[in-house]
Chains A and B, each alone.
Chain A
């Protein structure tokens, strides 16, 4: 066998540096998660014995999860509300945003400037909490899960970004379709949408994550505890300090031992993140596919 000459190309060096850098980044991002996972298994007794900083507990204590298991009904309920707003909300937002952005992307459309200004003004002036609340109330949306969806159907920023994506699609493609006898709606569905899969996937994910993390609207518009999404419950558990209040909730007595606050908080974080971890690879598959296939070829 002939030996290759000893030669390291710039490409290879770069790959190595790249892999090292990216691994470090991944590590930095993972470490806090790791500590959260570990903290959720720490027991009060171990803290008392070993001090507050425990990287890996000696014995794994599941009482924090046991507490959450007690509340599974509420948590499952909350999850179903979150899923509702993520899926239905995102779908409607995408429909509205695509229609509007496409309409605005037409160069030479009469009144385009007026409509853009019309939209821009809303970014600057808002009515504030009470008028918005009154509006939702008079639309009969109070205490309805739709109150988490309708007021935010279009995010102006996302819409403008999408409009710019649409505008970047070469006019020649659209014109070709029109010559073939397509009307504007057909141009949208047959030419523009297939070409903008990447941007649609991106904006769609922006919307979905917005819904996933949103809590303020539900806090204001929803009184029925069973219609609250997970984020609101989570805030309650994390900020409301878990456990015994001044007047106390005697139910803690049912537990053999009370988990430490930090374990409880960590367990809640994990329970909230786990579904994403399970679902994410599937979304990611489609998402990446969308990004790859939808590339605009000049």
Chain B
């Protein structure tokens, strides 16, 4: 009987699997577990130039940095901005990528399809600094295309990057511009794997395009969608600082300042790594709760989770 077999039996049976896992396990140990001691500086008063010894010798300060963060008048605003920015991004980008994949998938002209696909991937190869450079150029009141159009129709130019109410739109639409084509790849890949006979059968039954999408394509890629969603939700609080740092200014802090930019100003500007680490740790905890939560819900709904 199975359960009577010794552990050794299983190890021997799966020896090749363990062999394949070994390099990865070692890699994780060296590149993740060895430097993990650094996390203690979240509870210490540490400055980077103390060197590596300083991590151990610097003064313990307990939860001081966590208190500093939660006591800050900006705590609530930072959490709100971080959450809203990533939530809106998710709400816009996630369905858009699926929609694009659906539309691309239905295109008949092979060449046209390929061309659109190629064009849509292109912005993904640009780094944040370039994208932000383009964004700044596009929304500028003097040389920007948008304001040129506004002026053409007799409107008054809008200083987009000076208006807090515009920041989220700019951030999200530039993200969409950059990422939509790329994010659709994974769905297109999944769609191409779907059984063509199902489509043919549906066509014979007289099902229209939209019906086929709803009843064949979407259910067919459900699992991919659910996994992508879990991954996306997991990253909901990890709004990258780089793009915002390149776009924001004090006038629009009220909507643009997020946890990571705050940590960048406070932590790196003042060489206060302890504070940055502490806030990072807090972010990780939220991250974990979100991932486990979505995973749990996905499984409850009968989808395959990550675990």
Which residues of A approach B to under 8 Å, CB–CB? Answer: 10-11, 14-15, 18-19, 21-23, 25-26, 28-33, 35-36, 39, 51-55, 96, 99-100, 102-104, 106, 109-110, 115-116, 118-119, 122-132, 134-135, 150-151, 153-154, 157, 159-161, 164, 167-168, 183-185, 188, 198-199, 201-202, 205, 209, 212-213, 215, 231, 234-235, 238-239, 262, 265, 269, 272-273, 276-277, 280-281, 284, 288, 291-292, 294-298
Contacts and interface: CB of A to CB of B under 8 A. Distances in A.
B114 interface: yes
Contact of A154 (B24, B130, B180): B24
A32 B177 contact: yes
B192 A292 contact: yes
Contacts of B145: 31-32, 35, 53, 55
Contact of A103 (B24, B128, B133): B24
Contact of B177 (A29, A39, A167): A29
B55 A130 contact: yes
8 contacts: A29-B177, A185-B19, A198-B193, A209-B182, A262-B137, A273-B122, A280-B121, A298-B195
Nearest to B307: A116
Nearest to B122: A29
A110 B9 CA distance: 10
B118 A281 contact: yes
Nearest to A284: B118
Contact of B27 (A116, A153, A199): A153
Contacts of A127: 32, 34-39
Residue of A22, A164, A198 with most partner-chain B CB within 10 A: A22
A291 B192 CA distance: 7
B270 interface: no
A198 B189 contact: yes
A128 B273 contact: yes
Contact of A106 (B17, B121, B285): B17
Contacts of A277: 122
Nearest to A157: B231
Nearest to B21: A103
Given A52-B142, A127-B36, 9 more contacts: A31-B145, A32-B134, A110-B7, A154-B28, A167-B304, A202-B189, A269-B130, A280-B121, A298-B195
A272 B126 CA distance: 8
B125 A126 contact: no
A134 B35 contact: yes
A89 B82 CA distance: 32
B14 A164 contact: no
Contacts of A130: 38, 48, 52, 55, 273
A128 B31 contact: no
A262 B143 contact: yes
Contacts of B138: 32, 35
Nearest to B2: A108
A262 B140 CA distance: 12
Contacts of B127: 213, 215, 231, 234-235
B133 A238 contact: yes
Given A26-B120, A106-B14, A128-B280, A288 B33 contact: no
B109 A19 contact: yes
Interface stretch (B62-70, B72-80, B98-106): B98-106
A134 B52 contact: yes
Contact of B103 (A22, A100, A184): A22
B38 A53 contact: no
